[in-house]
């Protein structure tokens, strides 16, 4: 029994020693890995340090080279400026000499003219004396006087020519250096360019600086008063709610989003649908500003069709020969309206703005082919809606609707094409 316990004890001690040996071996491998990793990190740092030192060396060399080039260019520029100053001094001296010579030339010209007048006077006196039978001067004396005057005139003319300096001989030739480029002065901006620049610079941060523009608008309106060109046009309209969306509808049946309407201090939630308001609209941005309530409700004109009319015309070809354009990305509504209108005889084209580019939509809307064009405000891009407003101002038969249903599209088409 004693040997058996001793044997078990020895086995247990051997197992524990083996575990300690395995653990020690594992610790040794771990330490070896850590040592290798640290050694690799140190090596990488050394490489990076060497590369950094080399880059710094290259940077210093480049900096020294740039400084040397800069100094050389500065020296050349100083020499060039000195040469230019000397040339300017020479040119000024030459200009002064030329001015002096011109003054001398004028004086000599005057003196020559006086001498010529004297000769002419002597000749006139001689002629008069001969006619008056006065003892004439001898031919020798007359010829002597004329020769003396001619000689004097020749001397003065030679002096006049000699007084003119030869331009170009006084000024020394400039040494061959780099040409000096003089920056051209920018041309002043036109008013149209200034306006475009102001519009481009207008941001939320610079908005406070644009308050004086109200005086510009007022002055513009005063100058063009009575003309067709004015920034604001007067209109009337009312608010409507369609599918939980509110719009302002003007008297030409164009829908405007609330973001484009300035309620002029009024709370839009307090304005009832159908209440007529006078307003004004900017022709350059379609922005609408309410003026005041007219204290009456909007009444549907007799020319606007209602649901009963749709029943009456459902099987009639009242739209025969009419061309209709519908611009919307709401395919189900547009297709349904297209079928109803075609049943009434119309030729209908639908443009899906989710697949057709804005410029192609604009080109299609401008075609003279169509009797009526309908643009769905909630079914078109902002650029398309702006283009539609512009076409409407130009007199095209175009309607901008909020988010109409099929019946509304049909009723508006009937109204637009009614004779």
The reported pLDDT for the residue numbered 173 is: 47
Look at residue 364 and tell me whether its pLDDT is greater than 90: yes
Which of 304, 267, 285, 295 lies closest to 412 in space, CA to CA? 304
Look at residue 243 and tell me whether its pLDDT is greater than 70: yes
State the greatest distance between any 2 C-alpha atoms of the chain, in Å, as a whole number: 193
Decide: helix, strand or coil at residue 315: coil
DSSP string, 70-134: HHHHHHHHHHHHHHHHHHHHHHHHHHHHHHHHHHHHHHHHHHHHHHHHHHHHHHHHHHHHHHTT-
Q: Rounded distance, CA 155 to CA 164, Å?
A: 15
Model pLDDT for residues 133-155, shown as the tens digit of each residue: 444 444 455 455 556 656 766 67
Question: In the chain, what percentage of residues exceed pLDDT 90?
Answer: 10
Look at residue 271 and tell me whether its pLDDT is greater than 70: yes
More confident residue, 138 or 66: 66
Model pLDDT for residues 343-354, shown as the tens digit of each residue: 888 999 999 988
Give the confidence band of 106 by pLDDT, cuts at 50, 70, 90. Answer: low
Give the confidence band of 175 by pLDDT, cuts at 50, 70, 90. Answer: very low
Look at residue 91 and tell me whether its pLDDT is greater than 80: no
Which of 391, 392, 395, 397 lies closest to 419 in space, CA to CA? 397
Model pLDDT for residues 223-236, shown as the tens digit of each residue: 655 444 456 788 89
Model pLDDT for residues 275-330, shown as the tens digit of each residue: 999 998 887 777 888 988 888 888 776 555 566 666 666 666 788 889 999 999 88
Q: Tell me what the pLDDT averaged over the chain comes to.
A: 75
Look at residue 332 and tell me whether its pLDDT is greater than 80: yes
pTM of the model: 0.39
Burial class, 221, CB count within 10 angstroms (exposed 0-12 / middle 13-18 / buried 19+):
middle
Q: Rounded distance, CA 255 to CA 272, Å?
A: 16
């Amino acid at each position: 029994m004693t040997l058996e316990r001793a044997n078990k004890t020895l086995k247990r001690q051997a197992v524990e020693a083996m575990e300690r040996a395995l653990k020690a071996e594992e610790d040794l491998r771990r330490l070896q890995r850590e040592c290798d990793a640290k050694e690799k990190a140190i090596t990488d740092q050394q490489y990076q340090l060497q590369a950094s030192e080399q880059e710094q060396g290259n940077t210093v060399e480049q900096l020294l080279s740039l400084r040397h080039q800069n100094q050389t260019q500065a020296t050349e520029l100083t020499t060039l400026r000195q040469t230019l100053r000397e040339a300017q001094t020479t040119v000024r001296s030459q200009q002064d000499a030329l001015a002096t010579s011109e003054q001398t030339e004028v004086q000599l010209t005057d003196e020559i003219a006086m001498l010529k007048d004297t000769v002419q006077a002597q000749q006139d006196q001689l002629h008069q004396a001969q006619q008056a039978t006065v003892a004439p001067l001898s031919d020798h004396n007359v010829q002597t006087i004329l020769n003396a005057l001619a000689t004097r005139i020749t001397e003065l003319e030679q002096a006049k020519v000699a007084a003119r300096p030869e331009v170009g001989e006084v000024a020394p030739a400039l040494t061959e250096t780099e040409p000096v480029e003089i920056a051209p002065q920018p041309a002043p901006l036109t008013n149209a360019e200034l306006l475009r620049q102001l519009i481009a610079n207008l941001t939320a941060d610079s908005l406070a600086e644009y308050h004086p523009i109200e005086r510009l608008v007022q002055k513009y309106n005063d100058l063009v008063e009575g003309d067709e060109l004015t920034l604001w046009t007067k209109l009337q309209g009312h608010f409507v709610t369609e599918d939980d969306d509110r719009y302002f509808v003007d008297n030409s049946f164009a829908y405007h989003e609330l973001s484009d309407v300035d309620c002029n201090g009024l709370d839009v939630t307090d304005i009832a649908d159908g209440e007529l308001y006078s307003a004004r609209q900017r022709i350059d941005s379609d922005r609408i500003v309410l003026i005041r309530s007219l204290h009456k409700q909007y009444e549907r004109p007799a020319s606007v069709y209602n649901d009963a009319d749709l029943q009456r015309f459902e099987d009639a070809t009242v739209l025969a020969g009419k061309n209709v354009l519908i611009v919307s990305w709401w395919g189900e509504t547009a297709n349904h309206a297209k079928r109803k209108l075609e049943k009434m005889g119309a030729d209908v084209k639908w443009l899906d703005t989710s697949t057709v580019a804005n410029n192609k939509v604009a080109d299609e809307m401008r075609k003279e082919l169509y009797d009526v064009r309908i643009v769905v405000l909630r079914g078109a891009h902002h650029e398309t809606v702006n283009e539609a407003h512009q076409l409407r101002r130009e007199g095209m038969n175009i309607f901008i609707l909020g988010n109409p249903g099929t019946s509304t599209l049909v009723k508006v088409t009937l109204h637009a094409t009614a004779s």
